[in-house]
A = this chain, B = another copy of it.
Amino acid sequence: MKTSPRRPLILKRRKVPLPVQNASGETSKEGPKRPPAQQEPSQAQASTKATESNSCKFPAGIKIIDHPTMPNTQVVAIPNNADLNSIIAALTARGKESGSSGPNKFILISCGGSSAHPGRPQPPAQASSDAQRTEVPADTPGPKPVARDVNVPRSPGTLPRLKQESCAGGEAAGYALENSLTNIQWLGKMSSDSLGSCNIKQEMQEKENCHLEQSQVKVEEPTGAPPSWRDSVAERPPYSYMAMIQFAINSTERKRMTLKDIYTWIEDHFPYFKHIAKPGWKNSIRHNLSLHDMFVRETSANGKVSFWTIHPSANRCLTLDQVFKQQKRPNPEFRRNVTIKTELPLGTRRKMKPLLPRVSSYLVPIQFPVSQSLVLQPSVKVPLPLAASLMSSELVRHSKRVRIAPKKQHLRAPRGDEPELVFAEPPEPQPADGGPFQTPVKETLPISSTPSKSAPLPSTPEAWRLASPAAKVGELEVSPVRTPRGTCGPPPDSLGLVELSCTPPKSLPLFGSPRELLDAQPLELTPDPFGSPAPPHPDVPRPASPEPQVPNLAASRSLTEGLVLDTMNDSLSKILLDISFPGLDEDPLGADNINWSQFIPE
């Protein structure tokens, strides 16, 4: 993440509407936009308690202890069967009350309970030959694959064959992945809407034509029609290019894919790119493949075909499958918002889709004295984005923001950028006559050095905020892992969390023995990483200069996901806990000497 100077490890993110109301009376910057009627009915029970100031009733079995070293921080061990929402509500109230002087950060972990991965929904397990179409035998220079169906109009039934891919033939593997609500909502819309039998291509064309007409005649869209499946096709998926490429590549058995197949896979699974996006999206795909080191180009043995792969050490094995299996119930508020957005006056147009709020995952080491009688187990029932489990302790050093939802998405209407020229002109550079000398007055220049669409546009200042006010939850991790990993095979049965299985607690697949791991460590401890001529991790680490370097914790630790509730800014962040009990385990690296003060700003 290239930490800012003294940036706290647990980033304070944008305010996130927690599943419970804000018990505090602070002035809400969000404005009076969101009436309490939008609360989920299932959270009503917890919302009442939150308002009472001091005496929060916690469900039985909850243990709260002060963090050994972190100020104003408490660790809350929650039984798996507890109601997380009410707990968060109570903690929020408590934190609000104490303010900055008392505990205002709560690290939520799970402790005991019935959590032996209770029946997760089993994937449809359809045999998938998808995205394998040009997977030539790599040595047979035979007839080149004939014209693919890329961009070829398909018959009505050939719509996105979602849920078809498997990660390393992931059959028995129950992937418990927590996703951003937004993503899930999007997916829900995708799946529920697109499963109907309609000719998307045809409808899209109608839509386009309709749009062209509108643009030309500048006619108000009658709308009225509820946003149907069209929206799921027309709306851009909430995944970054990097994420989608990973989805695509990881959908294959051999974890490799040609560029053309990546195109096709994305088009098949995200019709937006097939029907709406400008062709420049393929340029962006190529750009991402080149830019990110995690994507490695490999050539088949005969050198005829180039495949894009994900470097094994960086592969989180994310698949769209995993996202689908999460399938939360579609948020009714979402529909409402869509309607609202659709009915907005045309003048308050989009051009920039509001970014999706996210919570971040960060690995946070915790040392408990052995005396603490906390029953910890890796499987957490609280809805945590478990993909974060893939992160190793390296994340503490080179904490790099990771997300699935893109930070910036244009989502502009594909051809509506220059409405004035909508008739004939191609997307041509505006003729600024006279060579490089036509310098307009600086006085009208934007002030900020960070170009902003909103700054020079005071009209309808937050109209776009109405677009997705309810979609505020977590995110998936898509950036490369910081720890060398093995294949993406199904996790051991003993672990309910597939992601944890990718970073086995004992020996990392890429290292034959712990000794090798240790031998390789010292390089990471050097304050000058450039001194080592070793090749880099893909995308991964930067020196992160000012922050003290944290030794890469050996694999002998217990990694557990948790949440951090920061009542100072009403943020709920996902963290990865590295819990150690000094004296219980061997510690050849002396990693337990980590001092929490390292991670505390100031």
Contact = CB atoms under 8 A, between A and B. Distances in A.
A214 interface: yes
A439 B413 contact: yes
Given A299-B546, A441-B212, A312 B530 contact: yes
Nearest to A517: B533
B419 A208 contact: no
Contacts of A398: 535
B299 A542 contact: no
Contacts of A451: 279-280, 283, 427
A370 interface: no
A116 interface: no
A280 B449 contact: yes
Contact of A432 (B412, B428, B447): B412
Number of copies: 2
Contact of A523 (B439, B531, B535): B535
Contacts of A538: 530, 542
B546 A540 contact: no
A298 interface: yes
Interface in A414-432: 414-420, 422, 426-432
A2 B445 CA distance: 39
B432 A351 contact: yes
A306 to B, nearest CB: 5
Interface residues of A, number: 121
A235 B435 CA distance: 10
A502 B312 CA distance: 35
A413 B453 CA distance: 20
A65 interface: no
A5 B450 CA distance: 38
A437 B311 contact: no
Most buried by B among A5, A212, A214, A533: A533
Contact of A521 (B418, B420, B533, B545): B533
A500 interface: no
A536 interface: yes
Interface in A531-586: 531-538, 540-543, 545-546, 552
Contact of A457 (B309, B428, B455, B517): B428
Contacts of A36: none
B434 A453 contact: no
B439 A415 contact: yes
A517 to B, nearest CB: 8
A54 B220 CA distance: 75
A413 B426 contact: no
A536 B445 CA distance: 40
Contacts of A552: 533
Interface stretch (A8-16, A238-246, A338-346): A338-346
Interface in A312-333: 312-314
A426 B439 contact: no
A511 B533 CA distance: 10
Contacts of A221: 433-434, 437
A542 to B, nearest CB: 6
A448 interface: yes
Interface in A439-484: 439-442, 444-451, 453, 455-457, 483-484
A548 to B, nearest CB: 11
Contacts of A148: none
A161 interface: no
A214 B282 contact: no
B208 A441 contact: yes
Interface of A: 2, 5-6, 204-205, 207-212, 214-215, 218, 221, 230, 234-236, 275-276, 278-283, 286, 290, 293, 296-299, 303, 306, 309, 311-314, 341-342, 344, 346-347, 349-353, 394, 398, 411-420, 422, 426-442, 444-451, 453, 455-457, 483-484, 510-511, 517, 520-521, 523-524, 526, 528-538, 540-543, 545-546, 552
15 contacts: A209-B441, A214-B438, A234-B437, A278-B446, A279-B448, A413-B438, A414-B438, A414-B445, A419-B430, A419-B433, A520-B533, A520-B534, A524-B534, A524-B535, A529-B534
Given A351-B432, A536-B541, 11 more contacts: A5-B297, A211-B437, A279-B451, A298-B546, A303-B546, A346-B431, A347-B431, A349-B434, A483-B533, A510-B530, A529-B534
Which 5 pairs, one residue from A and one from B, show the smallest C-beta to C-beta distance?
A536-B536, A416-B432, A415-B440, A426-B456, A529-B535
